[in-house]
Every structure is written in structure tokens, then in C-alpha cells.
Amino acid sequence: MLFNSIEFFVFLPLVFVLYWMLQKQKLAWQNGLLLVASYYFYACWDWRFLFLLMFSTGLDYFAGLMMQKAKNEANRRFWFWLTISINIGFLGVFKYYNFFVDSFADLINNFGFQVHYYTLNIILPVGISFYTFHGLSYVIDIYKRRIEPERNFVEYALFVSYFPLLVAGPIERATHLLPQIKKKRSFDYSKSIQGVKQIIWGLFKKVVIADNCAFFVNQIFDNSANYSAPELWFGSILFAFQIYGDFSGYSDIALGTSKLFGIDLLRNFNFPYFSKDIADFWRRWHISLSTWFRDYLYIPLGGSRGSNWQSVRNTFIIFLVSGFWHGANWTFIIWGFIHALLFLPLLLSNSNRSSLSNSNYSLKDFPKILITFAFVCLAWVFFRADNLTESWNYISGMTNFNDLSFQFFYKNSKYSLISLICLLSIIWMIITEWRNVKRNNYEIQLSKCNLFILLLMIFFMGSFKNQMSFIYFQF
Amino acid sequence: MNKFLKKIVIYGLASFIVLNLIAFLSLYFLGKSSFYKQQFVKNGVKETTFDYIVLGSSTGLTTLDTKLIDSLTHRSGLNISIDDSGLSSHYLMLQHFYLSGKSTKKLILAVMPDDLENEKPKLNGNDYRFLPHNNEDEVQTFFNEIEGDNKIIYQTSKYVPLIGVSYFNTELFFPGILSIFQPTKRNLFDQNGNYSYPTINSSKKLEKTSNKIKKLEYKNPYLTKIIDFCRLNKVKLIIYQSPIYKTEVIFPDELNCVNQCSLFNVSEFFYDEIHVNSKGRRICSEDFSKNSFFLN
């Protein structure tokens, strides 16, 4: 059930009405309904993986309780490592098994040996990276004695499986979401209105920007050798907007949907293409993942404390792991590596936090924004390409200025029209976001007029015929 | 809660009405234009009776040049073929042609072998072009009886135009807007309804093609409907097969048939395996002009 499908727009109002009808009942009824709805939502993808989700939920819940009950440190450690190993094990089997087998075989082959190996035809359970990380943060927080284990199974299960965030985040923390689940919720008019606005804004970014950009991006990336340097550059720029529209659009719909149930989710994006440097970009892009890695990997490794060498090592680890989290492909690892390289000068010059002290924008910030965006676009090439060879071919094509044609984008009336739609919608988004950035708005603010224009654009410029699945579902 | 629901219902309903009005207007203006063949037949063609019409998919559109045939045979013809369509759409187009107040003595039905043998025809890629005319009973009946993906979009658009217009927005909404300013603009066909593929070097595209022979059977139920329609309206039906590269097609004897399938096998005259280019079109049109089925 996609967020931009008819089924979801039947499912959501139904759950919404039932949920608030239970407002006067005990909290358990509301939570129970949300849990059933969440499991139904997940089963619509593939009911078989519902058992995996339930097992993972049950394991973390039980391990949390056992860690608290443990009579000695060894016992605690046992339960901690058991649940960590099983969670990572599931992720490893479903997401990374074939990658490791293939990479190992390639390595052996390079030394002149022939190995016979088996890869499995594994379907990646949707959302596994997200709900595994929910569970991991919960278990780690209990182990580190930051939180007490949750005793109510329904409330814990809802924390892991809450449908707005189940398949593509944001990656929640027990410290943020569980207290909201445990608290009696009453209907909040302004929160619900803001939720609807956010859903419309998210739909616009997904259906109008991302899916229309995908029309060009897929053709260019599938056959990059046939395109000129300017076309390849525009291909990567359009992919930057496609992935932003797709993922931040999803997050907006998730956050907006959750607001309708009176629950605030963690913010995942903060207008990232207005970043002044790469460090700033990572404070604004997929915030729930980058803060997760910061809190559960970077800081335990020592963070930026210690020697320069240790800081550099930790930076590379966090970026490489972050890249690898996205998928079992060397392209994601190189993508993370490029970001680490771009981050390095800021780290060594101790200016990686300079944009924090100055959140206002002046004219001299625009070159910085453009340069940061250009680097980000370049790195996206690796993220989008199917393999490293294609990435290199794409990058080398971008630097081959013998052919400066740009005809692809207007080769017939259909292409010209979709180019125009992409251009108009991206400009509209930039202007709207810029207004919000200037006002330091935490959330996108939209007037009634803006909302109506958005609806017009969704219905008359949205790509419904060539509807694409959300990119982050594959992670 | 009640305030929220009230507001959502009021604003939702208001938006729904306004968006539907815009969608309706875009269909209305498109319906009054000559943009697609369906609208051209209704609004862009002045004559009402024709000696012949060519009806088919892209092969019908790009193989027989009615302008050239008219000049060679002193007859008046019109090409009402629609690319990316099949016999089901041709049947609807034929009905639409008559409902627009036009008639013909002969129908040249340009067919494709696979389509003739298709027992369960489905909605075709360009059937959305009939949506501006979904007030015609025949159009609505067609959408109700034929199967296909997203059938519901076609069925419900008569009552909720927003559904069809937003789903096919680049194909319907924007041409609708364009039609307000340029109502006589035609989408890739000339004043006689013809289109021609450019002459390009297609030998590379065609080099892997091997020789084929196909023996056909008429299985498509819409062919029967077309035959019945022609009988009812006293139209002489001629089945036409355009050239297919390195392919021979054998038709059953039961219908009048002009078979140019193996008229030539030179890649120079082809745009791709099933479409001729402008040179090929000329040869086909000249050869067709001499055919006795057509002349008598």
C-alpha cells in the first residue's frame, strides 16, 4: 500500500475516524487499533514478512526485559549480544548475504582461484533496515541504562511497527516515541490541520517532482553513453531533486499522517539543498539516520575527541557504514566515501560546525550553497548508478565537453512538456522552501492559496500513469 | 474533531468541484479542437461523404497517403487511423466517424496480424483520446464492455472528469489548454489525416530480422462488429495489410483483401520492421491506387 495510492486514501480516513471514536475509551484501545492497522498496512506488502517483523519485535521486547532482570553483568551482556546478533544477522542474511558472497568470490578469483558459490534468491523484506534500527536503538539504550524496558507489549510493538514510519522511517528512538505512545492523546485541531498540509506538500514532492524527474533520470542513467555532458549533468541534478522529492515527500506524508493521530515523529529533512557545506548537508538530510549513527556509532567510537587521526577514522567509518546501510552495493560505499572526503577538510580545519553558529543567509552564502549542491549531485551519480563501472562511465561522460547538445530534454512535445513540468515544480518548491528557510520555520507553512496551487499541480502535473515506488523502500 | 472534519469536508468538496470544473473545461475545449484524430474527424473535416477512409493503427496512419491516392484516382479519401490502437479502437472510431455526421463508401481497414488473431482485445494505449467524447453512448458502452488495465478510469471519467484528466494529464489537460488558443492545431498528422515516418538508415535495426510466414485466422470479435457495421451502413470493407519486413502473411479468403505485406523487402523503404518510411509510403500508395478491389 503506497502512500500515494487510492488504497491508502481509503485506509487512512477509516483508521483516523475509528481511532478518534475510541478517544473516550482506554488508551489501550487506541494503541491496539493502531497496531492492528500497522500490521495490516505491512501485510499489504507481503504478509509472509509480517512474521519476521513480529519475531524481531518479540525478541527485542523479551531481551529488554531479560536485561533488566539479569542478576549479573555477564547475563545482561549475554542478552544484549544475543539480540544484537540476531537483529544484525537478519539484516545480514536478507540484505547483504549475496553481496558478501559475490565480493568474496570476486576477491578469490582475482588471486587466480576458482570458487563455486551459491547466492540466494532473497526478497528484501520492506522496511527491514528501518525497523531493525528501531529495535537496535531500544536494546542499546536499555543496555546503556538510558531507558527502562517497556513492559506493555502492545505499546512496544506499536513503537516498532507504527505504520507511518514502518517502511521508510524516520528512524525513531524509544526515548522520543514511546512516551507519546504511553500518553493519553486527545484530538488537536491545529496539529491535524498541519498534518493534512504536510501530507499535501509531501504528495506534491513525490508525485509531481520525483516521479516526473524519474522520467528523464531513468533513461539517462540506464544508457548514459548515449548522452552529452550537459545532458548527463542535468541527469544528475534531476536525480538530486528526484531522490529529495521522493524521500522527503515520503517523510512529509509520514509525519503528516502521524500528526493526524496526535503523535509527532522525528523530523527527517531540514531543507538540505540550502546547505552551506557538507557538514551542514548532513545535519539536514535524513536526519534520523545520521543522528542514529552519530549516537550509536560515532560517539561510542570516540567521536571527534582524541587525536586528528581518530577523528578522521571515525568520520570515515560513519560515512562508509551509512553508505552501506543503503544497500549491498559498492556504489553506496563509494557514495559514503565521497561524502567522507568532502567532510574531511571541514573536520581538519575545525569548521564542520561553523554553519551552526550562523543560521542566517546572506548573498555570500549563495556560492557556498551552489558548490555544496554541485558536490552532492556528483556523489548522487554513484548512489543512482547500478554498478561502479557505470558510475565511472557516467562521471567521465560528464567531463567530455566535445558534445554540448541538450536536445534530449525537448526532443518532442511530450519531452518538452515534462521538462517544463519538472522546471516549474522545482522552482515552485525552491521558492516555497526558501521562504520557510528565511523565516526559520521548523515545518513547512502553506497558505490556503499555496495549498490550492499544490492541489492543482498534483492533479494536473503529477505523474500518475508512470507511478514509481518510493526509492527508500528498497533499503 | 467535528470542526476539523467539517473543514476537511468543506475544503475537500470545494477543491473537488473546482478541480472537476477545470478538468471538464479542458475536456470540453479539447473536444472542440482538431488536436487528436477523434476531434479532427468531428471538428476539422468539412466534407461529410467520402469515397473511402483508411482506418487502422500506426501502419494505417503511415502507409497509405490519401492525398497521393486521391490525386492518382480522383477520389476523395480521409485517413482516420490512430497510432497505438487495435481493432477495438477502430470499431469505436468508425462509430464516432458516423456519429460526427460523416459517411464513406469504402472502408480500408489496415490490420496487424497479431491483432486479427487476438481473441480477447483490451483497451489500447491511445483510447483516452475518446474521453472528450464520452457523452456519446457508443464511447461509454465501449469503455463498459472492454477489459483492460485501469478500465475504471475510463468508465468513471464521464461522471468525474478529474479522474481521467489527472491520470492522462500530459495527454489531455495540456492539449486541452493548448486548444483554447490553437483550436485548429493537429497532433502529428496533416489535413488529410496522414503522417509519415522520416527516411533514416534503418538497416542496422533490421539486420537481425529473419524470414517469416504467417497464416492468419480472423479471431478478433471486433472485426465481426466492424463487418456488421459496414453491412448495416452499406460500406464496402477492404482489409489492408501494409508491408512487414521479411514477412509474408496469408489471409483467409472470406474478405476482400489488399495484401502488400511482401510488396518489397528492401530496408531502404522501412523505418522499422512494421513501418514504412516516406519512400515506402509512396510505393505502397501508388500500388494501392491500382488495386481492383479499391477501384471497383
pLDDT of residue B79: 97
* HSE-up of residue A160 (Cα within 13 Å, Cβ side): 28
pLDDT of residue B204: 76
CB contact under 8 A, A461 and B169: yes
Which of A414, A452, A459 lies closest to B170 in CB terms? A414
Q: Are the C-beta atoms of B229 and B94 separated by less than 8 Å?
A: yes
DSSP B270: B
Q: Name the stretches of chain A with pLDDT < 70.
A: 115-122, 357, 472-475
pLDDT of residue A120: 63
d(CA B262, CA B249): 8
pLDDT of residue B230: 97
Q: Are the C-beta atoms of B24 and B163 separated by less than 8 Å?
A: no
Residue A233, Cβ neighbours under 10 Å: how many? 19
pLDDT of residue B42: 95
d(CA B221, CA B206): 32
Write down the residue that cell numbers 491506387 correspond to. Answer: B289
- Give A416→chain B minimum CA distance, Å: 11
CB contact under 8 A, A192 and B167: no
State the residue range of the domain holding B100. 2-295
User: Where do the H-state alpha helices sit in A111-173?
Assistant: 128-143, 153-161, 163-166
Residue A324, Cβ neighbours under 10 Å: how many? 18
Query: What nine digits make up the cell of B129?
Result: 483520446
Nearest residue to A130 via CA among A386, A474, A383: A474
Instruction: Give phi and psi for B50, each to the nearest 5.
Output: -130, 150
CATH number of the domain where residue B230 is located: 3.40.50.1110
Which of B4, B169, B187 lies closest to A460 in CB terms? B169
d(CA B37, CA B34): 7
**Degrees, nearest 5: CA angle A352-A353-A356:** 140
pLDDT of residue A117: 66
Tell me the pLDDT tens digit for each residue of A305-332: 888 888 899 999 999 999 988 888 899 9
Which of A189, A196, A459 lies closest to B19 in CB terms? A459
Q: Are the C-beta atoms of A259 and A195 separated by less than 8 Å?
A: yes
Domain count, chain B: 1
Contacts of A413 in chain B (CB under 8 A): 187
Q: Which is it for strands B257-259 and B236-241: parallel, antiparallel or unpaired? A: parallel
- Give A223→chain B minimum CA distance, Å: 18
Query: What nine digits make up the cell of B230?
Result: 459496414
Which of A414, A417, A455 lies closest to B15 in CB terms? A455
d(CA B31, CA B21): 15
One DSSP character per residue, B175-201 reads HHHHHHH-TT--SS--TTS---B----
Active-site positions of A read 326
Helix (H, G, I), strand (E, B) or coil at A344: helix
Instruction: Enumerate residues 6+ apart whose C-beta is below 8 A from A300.
Output: none
Question: What pairs with residue B54 in β-bridges?
Answer: B79, B108
Helix (H, G, I), strand (E, B) or coil at A329: coil
Mutation target for B interface from A16, A188, A191, A465: give the one with most B CBs within 10 A: A465
d(CA B40, CA B34): 4
pLDDT of residue B214: 86
> Residue A169: what residue type?
G
Instruction: Enumerate residues 6+ apart whose C-beta is below 8 A from A211.
Output: A462, A463, A466, A467, A468
Contacts of A196 in chain B (CB under 8 A): 8
Query: What nine digits make up the cell of B141?
Result: 458502452
Q: Name the stretches of chain B with pLDDT < 50.
A: none
Buried b (16+ CB within 10 A) or exposed e, A325-356: bbbbbbbbbbbbbbbbebbbebbeeeebeebe
Contacts of A455 in chain B (CB under 8 A): 15, 19
Which of A459, A461, A465 lies closest to B162 in CB terms? A459
- Give A45→chain B minimum CA distance, Å: 21
CB contact under 8 A, A460 and B166: yes
d(CA A37, CA A44): 11
Please give the interface size between A and B, counted as residue pairs whose CB atoms are below 8 Å apart.
42
Asked if A20 has any chain B CB less than 8 Å from its own CB, the reply is yes
Residues of chain A by 3-state class (helix, strand, coil), percent to 5: 75, 0, 25
d(CA A77, CA A83): 10
pLDDT of residue A126: 79
**Degrees, nearest 5: CA angle A226-A388-A94:** 120
CA B209 to chain centre: 27
Q: Are the C-beta atoms of B124 and B146 separated by less than 8 Å?
A: no
Chain B's closest residue to A418, CA to CA, is B170
- Give B14→chain A minimum CA distance, Å: 10
Angle at which helices A6-21 and A27-46 cross, to 10°: 160
Nearest residue to B235 via CA among B255, B261, B221: B255
pLDDT of residue A11: 94
Tell me the pLDDT tens digit for each residue of A400-422: 888 888 889 998 899 999 999 99
CA A330 to chain centre: 19
Q: Which is it for strands B212-215 and B247-250: parallel, antiparallel or unpaired? A: parallel
Instruction: Give phi and psi for B125, each to the nearest 5.
Output: -55, -30
d(CA A39, CA A449): 37
Asked if A414 has any chain B CB less than 8 Å from its own CB, the reply is yes
pLDDT of residue A275: 92
- Give B35→chain A minimum CA distance, Å: 13
Residues of chain B by 3-state class (helix, strand, coil), percent to 5: 50, 15, 35
Tell me whether 0.90 is exceeded by the ipTM: no
Question: What pairs with residue B258 in β-bridges?
Answer: B240
pLDDT of residue A102: 76
Asked if B36 has any chain A CB less than 8 Å from its own CB, the reply is no
Mutation target for A interface from B36, B126, B154, B166: give the one with most A CBs within 10 A: B166
**Degrees, nearest 5: CA angle A242-A245-A251:** 140
| Dihedral sign computed on CA atoms, order A216, A221, A223, A228 | positive
A residues 182-201 closer than 8 Å to B (CB): 187, 189, 192-193, 196
Instruction: Give phi and psi for A349, each to the nearest 5.
Output: -90, 5
Q: Which long-range contacts (CB under 8 A, 24 or more apart) does A79-88 make?
A: A80/A139, A80/A143, A83/A59, A83/A135, A83/A139, A84/A136, A84/A139, A84/A140, A86/A59, A87/A56, A87/A59, A87/A60, A87/A132, A87/A135, A87/A136, A87/A139, A88/A132, A88/A136
Nearest residue to B181 via CA among B32, B46, B18, B36: B32
